[in-house]
Amino acid sequence: MGKLAVLESNVLVLNSGYTAIRITSARRAFILLIREAAEVVTTDDGQFRTFDLAAWILWSDLVRANSSPRHGNGHEPPDWVRTPRLAIAVPRVIRLLHYTGRPQREVRLTRRNIHARDLFRCHYCGKRFTTRDLTVDHIVPRSQGGRDTWDNLVTACVPCNSRKGGRTPQGANMRLRRKPTKPRTNPTVTERLQNPKYRLWRAFVDESSPYLASGS
């Protein structure tokens, strides 16, 4: 995984009371750590441990020195951000030190959540793609009054989106694989919980947890 991709990877954010409130990028998580507004949370043998940035850098050095995949998150190998002087493990979970707010109750309509809801598959050809090769398509184009809503936005690959152009599926002689709907739970969280890399998240959220915002 390249450095830019690593910095856009997902980090779960907790409030000061250890309640999951949102998902952010690794880039934003490191900014919060640098500002001393957050700390890293891991678990080791069922016990939670917390680290400020300086301690997290030392922890990263120990992991690298021991050539160990252990990261305090279910023993999955960490992703790394590398600089000329340092290699720092990307945290999976951070905790805000002075924020007590609760999670948002509404699933945010974002590109990331649409891709996750649609399982990274094009709604027209049905093939699975990487995020880089996917777009978000308006079923009813904006030029025809289409709105930015859950039931009018779908994941589409670049070739299918280009073929459809500024037409409706009917006008382009294309068929939707299924009708899009608003998800009941945050699709990015649901998708990440299936990945062993984010096993630590399961200590704080599950698929029936309150909605979490996806964003910075």
Q: Are strands 93-96 and 10-14 parallel, antiparallel or unpaired?
A: parallel
pLDDT in tens, 7-16: 888 999 999 9
Query: Identity (one letter) of the amino acid at 19?
Result: T
pLDDT in tens, 133-153: 999 999 999 999 999 999 999
Closest CA to 15 of 34, 42, 45, 39: 39
Give ∠ CA 62-64-65 in degrees, rounded to 5.
Answer: 65
Instruction: Check whether 216 has a pLDDT greater than 70.
Output: no
Dist. CA 204–CA 122, nearest whole Å: 31
Confidence of residue 98 (pLDDT cuts 50, 70, 90): very high
Confidence of residue 74 (pLDDT cuts 50, 70, 90): very low
**Higher pLDDT among residues 103 and 197, named by residue:** 197
pLDDT in tens, 40-72: 999 876 788 999 999 999 999 888 887 554 444
What is the model's pLDDT at position 47? 83
Mean pLDDT of the chain: 87
Q: Tell me the pTM.
A: 0.74
Instruction: Check whether 201 has a pLDDT greater than 70.
Output: yes
3-state secondary structure string, 106-172?
A: CCCCCHHHHHHHCCCECCCCCCECCHHHEEEEECCCHHHCCCCCCCCEEEEEHHHHHHHCCCCCCCC
Dist. CA 53–CA 33, nearest whole Å: 6
Backbone φ and ψ of 148, nearest 5°: -85, 85
For residue 173, the 8-state DSSP code is T
Dist. CA 96–CA 23, nearest whole Å: 12
**What is the token pair recorded at 166?**
């500024």
pLDDT in tens, 102-125: 877 778 898 989 999 999 999 999
